[in-house]
Amino acid sequence: MTAFRQASYDEPPIFSMGSPGRTGTSEVWVGGGTDGMPKVALPREVAREGIRLPEVSQVEVVRHYTRLSQMTWGIDTGPYPLGSCTMKYNPKVNEDLASMDTVQQIHPLQGLDGIQGALSLMYRLERALSALTGMSKFTLQPAAGANGELTGCLMMRKHFEIIGKPRPEMIVPDSAHGTNPASAAMAGFRVVEVPTGEDGCVDVEALKGAVSGATAGFMMTNPNTLGIFEGRVMEIAGIVHDAGGLMYYDGANFQGILGRARPGDLGFDIAHLNLHKTFSTPHGGGGPGAGPVGVAKGLEGLLPVPTVERDGGEGGERYRLEWCRLESIGKVRAWYGSFPVLVRAYAYLLSMGAEGLRASSGLAVLNTNYFASRIAGIRGFDVPYGGRRRKHEVVVSAERLAAETGIGAGDVAKALIDMGLHPPTVYFPLIVKEALMFEFADSETKEAVDSYVEALKRVSEEAYSNPSGISAAPRNAAIGRLDEVRANHPKTMRLSHRHPQR
């Protein structure tokens, strides 16, 4: 057994800490108080009686959140092979750059003279993303992948409105990320699902049957969520285009073809990227991310406002924000995009270069295929849709293990934790039973991948010999297995310290 032990504190909620009169900072400490300034008397109908917040000193706050951080697994802690999340190393130099005053302490409405650096960086990033995807132009505005998908769906909607033929349907494969159908529905589309064929790819015959004059578009992830490259993508694009529909590329899996193939060349009209996946920006426990969206030639007018434009040539160039775009869908979130995230992604692009990005996808795909090769034959685990090369991710099924030992994918995950390994994505995609979706990023060492192979072997052995040991996992994490039923039952759920009582 690995001697892994995650830090485990009985850390009380902040609301039960501190003592009256203490403070971690105060208005006097932050702004010099209000001496010599008028006191504003508020009328009773708007004045608040008081507010119940804890009173905690600075060192208590620092220790509390430091301890919480220690009970958190990050890429900096160890390998993190969540499928479709591309958990690659987040370079530290990029953090230094993103935290500079010239990034954090600037205002979006400063005069253009004072934001030329920001706009030129955004312009260059936009051009680079366009070149890497074969798209004509990008917006950097969306806050995350799903916000990008919504942007793409809204652009499709607008496109058909402009040509005077609104189309009500969006087609998605059953293997799609949940955000695809959800985003399409947010944009007002009726979602039509097409099945996955026996080869692990979109069932093209079923797609042909689903496509019609009502089809606005087809949302596709390629490589798909099984990690398989959809080899008939150009034929599919032909089918959709022939019916007048548009092709949408979900860039969550762009890592699998980064620097080698471009959505634009594969027949896609609209594509989003996740900078917090493929382009190494940290995910922050769930954001902020960035989900830029690119469009093919002819659709540029639909992009959200403002766009960043360059006037003048090299040397005398000047950048500006263009708000006057008559066909634009408008806006999908505040301001111009997650700027500090954009700075990190730009720095990453420079630190890799074109060949470096190619190497990135090569090594990520090598890692995953190496893993898939090495786990073949481990009792209880299968790789459905076998015989196909994977790209950056692979889905392993623990269905046999579950049937024979009662140990399912969720239990396997908890057993991995006890060996000091962060689990893969579990129970996704929905089309694979007891799914364990592994993605080994370009930055994972061979030894890290090997440790997962050895761990799965051990889990298999234990499942067949002593399954109750696994059911009790994890033992070495900050806390033991948690009661999901209690968390979700209307009678026992507690969603804030004011809930359910008041």
Partner 1 sequence: MRVLAMLDRHPYLPNASSSMEEMLKIVGCSRVEDLFSDVPSAGFDAGLPAGPMDEASLGRAVCKELSRNAVLAGRCFTGGGPWFHHVPSVIRHIVSRGEFLTAYTPYQAEVSQGTLQALFEFQSFVCELYGMDVANASMYDLATAIGEAGLLCARVTGRRRFMVPASLPRARLAVIRNYLVPQGISLEAVPYSPEDGTVDRDAFRRQLAEGAGIAGAYIESPTFFGTLERDVGGFADAVHDAGGLAVVGADPLSLGALKSPGETGADVAVGDGQPLGIPPGFGGNTLGIMACRGEQRIVRQMPGRIVGMTSERGEGGGGRTGYVLALGTREQHIRRERATSNICSNETLLAISAAIYMALMGRAGLEGVSKAILSRTRYAEDRLRSAGLEPLFGGIKFRELAVKAGDPDAVNRGLARRGYSGGRRLRGDFPTLEKGLLFAFTEACSREELDGFIEALSGAAGEKA
Q: Is 22 in the site for partner 1 (CB under 8 A)?
A: yes
Q: How far is the CB of 402 from partner 1 (least distance, A)?
A: 19
Which residues within the stretch 168-187 sit at the binding site for partner 1 (CB under 8 A)?
Answer: 177-179, 181-187
The size of the interface with partner 1 (CB under 8 A), counted in residues, is 211
Q: Is 370 in the site for partner 1 (CB under 8 A)?
A: yes
Which residues within the stretch 340-359 sit at the binding site for partner 1 (CB under 8 A)?
Answer: 340-343, 346-347, 349-357, 359
Query: Which residues touch 149 (CB under 8 Å, ≥6 apart)?
Result: 179, 180, 183, 184, 219, 248, 250, 272, 291
> Would you give the DSSP letter of residue 11?
P
Of these, 240, 247, 266, 402, which contacts partner 1 (CB under 8 A)?
A: 266
Q: Are 270 and 246 in contact (CB under 8 A)?
A: yes
- Separation of CA 109 from chain center: 29
Q: Are 158 and 329 in contact (CB under 8 A)?
A: yes
Q: How far is the CB of 285 from partner 1 (least distance, A)?
A: 4
Of these, 209, 213, 238, 287, which contacts partner 1 (CB under 8 A)?
A: 287
Q: Which amino acid is at 410?
A: G
Span interacting with partner 1, options 54-62, 235-243, 378-386, 458-466, rule CB under 8 A? 54-62
CB nearer to partner 1: pick between 87 and 240: 87
Q: How far is the CB of 77 from partner 1 (least distance, A)?
A: 6
Q: Which amino acid is at 234?
A: M
Q: Is 271 in the site for partner 1 (CB under 8 A)?
A: no
Span interacting with partner 1, options 39-47, 203-211, 395-403, 461-469, rule CB under 8 A? 39-47
Of these, 167, 268, 283, 463, which contacts partner 1 (CB under 8 A)?
A: 283
Q: Is 2 in the site for partner 1 (CB under 8 A)?
A: no
Q: What are phi and psi of 484, to 5 degrees?
A: -70, -30
> Would you give the DSSP letter of residue 173?
E
CB nearer to partner 1: pick between 446 and 464: 446
Q: How far is the CB of 48 from partner 1 (least distance, A)?
A: 5
Which residues within the stretch 295-324 sit at the binding site for partner 1 (CB under 8 A)?
Answer: none
CB nearer to partner 1: pick between 335 and 404: 335
Span interacting with partner 1, options 213-221, 242-250, 401-409, 414-422, rule CB under 8 A? 414-422
Element (H, E) at 431: none
Distance between CA atoms of residues 278 and 72, nearest Å: 22
CB nearer to partner 1: pick between 297 and 404: 297
Distance between CA atoms of residues 77 and 95, nearest Å: 17
Q: How far is the CB of 43 from partner 1 (least distance, A)?
A: 7
Residue 248, by phi and psi: left (phi above 0), alpha (psi -120 to 50) or beta?
beta
> What string of H, E and C letters represents the secondary structure of 229-242?
CCCCHHHHHHHHHH
Distance between CA atoms of residues 53 and 57, nearest Å: 13
Q: How far is the CB of 425 from partner 1 (least distance, A)?
A: 7
Of these, 208, 241, 320, 331, which contacts partner 1 (CB under 8 A)?
A: 331
Q: How far is the CB of 131 from partner 1 (least distance, A)?
A: 3
Q: How far is the CB of 211 from partner 1 (least distance, A)?
A: 18
Q: Is 33 in the site for partner 1 (CB under 8 A)?
A: yes
Q: Is 19 in the site for partner 1 (CB under 8 A)?
A: no
Of these, 5, 163, 188, 205, which contacts partner 1 (CB under 8 A)?
A: 188
Which residues within the stretch 74-103 sit at the binding site for partner 1 (CB under 8 A)?
Answer: 74-77, 80, 82, 85, 87-91, 93, 95-97, 99-103
Q: Are 245 and 218 in contact (CB under 8 A)?
A: yes
> Would you give the DSSP letter of residue 351?
H
Distance between CA atoms of residues 445 and 442, nearest Å: 8
Q: Would you give the end-to-end CA distance of the chain in angstroms? A: 47
Which residues within the stretch 98-117 sit at the binding site for partner 1 (CB under 8 A)?
Answer: 99-111, 113-117
> Would you give the DSSP letter of residue 258?
T
Of these, 138, 139, 152, 154, which contacts partner 1 (CB under 8 A)?
A: 154
CB nearer to partner 1: pick between 74 and 400: 74
Q: Are 240 and 229 in contact (CB under 8 A)?
A: no
Q: Are 405 and 467 in contact (CB under 8 A)?
A: yes
Name which of 253, 179, 169 is nearest 218 in CA terms: 169
CB nearer to partner 1: pick between 95 and 462: 95
Q: How far is the CB of 382 from partner 1 (least distance, A)?
A: 19
Look up residue 339 and give its two tokens.
């700027």
Of these, 136, 191, 310, 469, which contacts partner 1 (CB under 8 A)?
A: 191
Of these, 231, 238, 298, 406, which contacts partner 1 (CB under 8 A)?
A: 231
Q: How far is the CB of 386 from partner 1 (least distance, A)?
A: 14
Which residues within the stretch 473-502 sit at the binding site for partner 1 (CB under 8 A)?
Answer: 474, 477-484, 486-488, 490, 492-500, 502
Look up residue 165 and give its two tokens.
């033929």
How many C-alpha atoms does 312 have within 13 Å on its Cβ side?
A: 8
Span interacting with partner 1, options 238-246, 277-285, 397-405, 456-464, rule CB under 8 A? 277-285
Name which of 203, 346, 187 is nearest 270 in CA terms: 187
**Coil, strand or helix: which one is 248?**
strand
Look up residue 310 and give its two tokens.
């360059």
